[in-house]
Amino acid sequence: MESAATDAELDSLVQDAIVWASQHGLVVGLGGTAPPAALIHAPLSLLPVAFPASRFQQAKAAMTTFNTLIDRVAADEGYLFDTLELAGQQDDFTGRLLQLLQDSKPARAAAAAAAGAKEVVLGVHRSDYMLDAPSGGFLQVELNTIASSFACLSSITSQLHHYTLQRLAAASSSSDAAAAALQLLSASRLPSNAAMQGICRALAAAVVAAGGPGAVMVMVVQPGERNAYDQQWLQHTLWTEHGIVTRRLTLAQIPDCLQLQPDAAGAGSRLVFADSGTPVGLVYFRAGYTPNDYPTDKEWQARALIEASTAAKCPTVAYQLAGSKKVQQDLAAPGVVERFMGQQQGADLRQLFAGLWSLDNITEPTTAAVIQDAIQNPDRFVLKPQREGGGNNLYGPELSAALQQGLAAGGDSLAAFILMQRIVPPPQRSVFVRGGAWGEDESLSELGIYGTFLRVGDEVVINEEVGHLVRTKTSSSNEGGVAAGFAVLDSPLLSEPGEGLLPPQL
């Protein structure tokens, strides 16, 4: 959102926002050589960013259908193996996940049969979108099924922006700026964001369903995590609102801390703490999405131990693979999403799909043509590997060079990638606040919608859209991750056509 306030007014408002953020837990770890508890305000936008209200509602409404889609895709393991086979041959990480899915089949089947209990499946998903300037609608960037972060800090950012608009209205020397700020202070324009509470409801329900009374949640984390405060808001809320304890472990710690314990039927499938016998109802992954999280076989042993247990997993290996870039591309192919969701729901989701192309068969005429188009016009495409976490995609000259090198080597290596239409949203203006300093710049924003899905056996217990995330970056930046250092936390300001809040393209 562009402000009519003076620099002096903005500077004062920035200082107020930094204090508010620090007082209300909108913080990240300081990192570097700082003490472990050192923190700083999260990278943030001073004011919310405008989105078309109708498109925002469309993205929210689609989330429960995407939740169901992921569950159905993950349940079809034959589809996962067929779709990801070539990618797994060229990408070691994808191949290892596929191997784990295959190797864990006997243990999963034995655990389910011996326990006599219904499988508890939990998904915490986030579907990310950018506005497409030509159409004015959202197109999906990706669908995250593992470690969907920033739900808690995003919820607090929405509260911060209500505060900063109030302060702008009260303190502005410009009557125009004050009037504009007051006009925007309504619930319909600044939508509430209860992502933290919604995700915790699903986490708590999964712990109880799979672990019973006294069970705990294990949160799998990365060593030295700077975004621990976003995670610990979940821990705090789980305890204060649901009475559930969270234990934080890295993948490397899990084989030493957890073990399988025979259940009443005599099968070694119940996941418990080795020292106390405390049952684990849910293993919630905020790590495990990148090869860097598996430096040794011990981390893979941890993943296998978890998969073999009757504890709920968020996600299972199958859910993680269902959220891969290759599966996203394949679902957009003619008839595929309809196979899982039927014609009507498939058509609804397809409205949100960007252009996506497989690179499995470079001699196929359509694939060969789109590769040549991307080499000659790289600014119209994004080359995506099977990676999560930000900073992995290729753009511009790097994209063109990677495609040419892949073709020169015979083309097999390109199966590890997908090619995607580059979504170019209309630029806006934002005030970026990082490390106590601020600057105004042209910006692009990405909207994420959170969803939760809990299935116990064949019964869907929870299928909800629970909140949102906005990440804003400078228009010159390709990547958009906050944790990766590319973007700031933001929130949506909903606008109707003709109000002048949105760029002319919208």
Helix (H/G/I), strand (E/B), else coil: 130 = strand
Cα radius of gyration rounded to whole Å, the chain: 23
Q: Is 227 annotated as a binding residue?
A: yes
Q: Is 187 annotated as a binding residue?
A: no
Q: pLDDT at residue 26 above 60?
A: yes
Q: What is the pTM of this model?
A: 0.95
> Strand ranges (DSSP E) for 89-167?
120-131, 138-144
Q: pLDDT at residue 169 above 70?
A: yes
Q: Is 129 annotated as a binding residue?
A: no
| pLDDT tens digits along 397-452 | 999 999 999 999 999 999 999 999 999 998 999 999 999 999 999 999 999 999 99
Q: Is 457 annotated as a binding residue?
A: no
User: Mean pLDDT throughout 194-206?
Assistant: 99
Predicted confidence band of residue 4 (pLDDT cuts 50, 70, 90): low
One-letter amino acid of 35: P
User: Mean pLDDT throughout 88-108?
Assistant: 96
Q: What percent of the chain has pLDDT over 90?
A: 79
Enzyme catalytic residues: 126, 142, 144, 149, 325, 384, 388-389, 471
Rounded CA separation 474/450 (Å): 24
Q: Is 232 annotated as a binding residue?
A: no
- In this predicted structure, what is the pLDDT of residue 267? 57
CA angle 100, 104, 105 (to 5 degrees): 125
8 A C-beta contact, residue 75 and residue 458: no
Rounded CA separation 13/424 (Å): 31
Q: Is 289 annotated as a binding residue?
A: yes
Q: Is 252 annotated as a binding residue?
A: no
Q: Is 479 annotated as a binding residue?
A: yes
Give me the residue spans of the domains in the chain.
7-329+424-495, 355-421
One-letter amino acid of 158: S
Q: Is 53 annotated as a binding residue?
A: no
Q: pLDDT at residue 170 above 90?
A: no
Q: pLDDT at residue 115 above 80?
A: no
Rounded to 10 degrees, the C-alpha dihedral 445/478/147/336 comes to 90
Rounded to 10 degrees, the C-alpha dihedral 224/227/229/232 comes to -80
Q: Is 313 annotated as a binding residue?
A: no
Q: Which fold has domain 355-421?
A: Dna Ligase; domain 1 (3.30.1490)
Of 459 and 225, the structure prediction assigns the larger pLDDT to 459
Helix (H/G/I), strand (E/B), else coil: 425 = coil
Q: Is 32 exposed, middle or buried (0-12, 13-18, 19+ CB in 10 A)?
A: exposed
Predicted confidence band of residue 506 (pLDDT cuts 50, 70, 90): low
Q: Is 67 annotated as a binding residue?
A: no
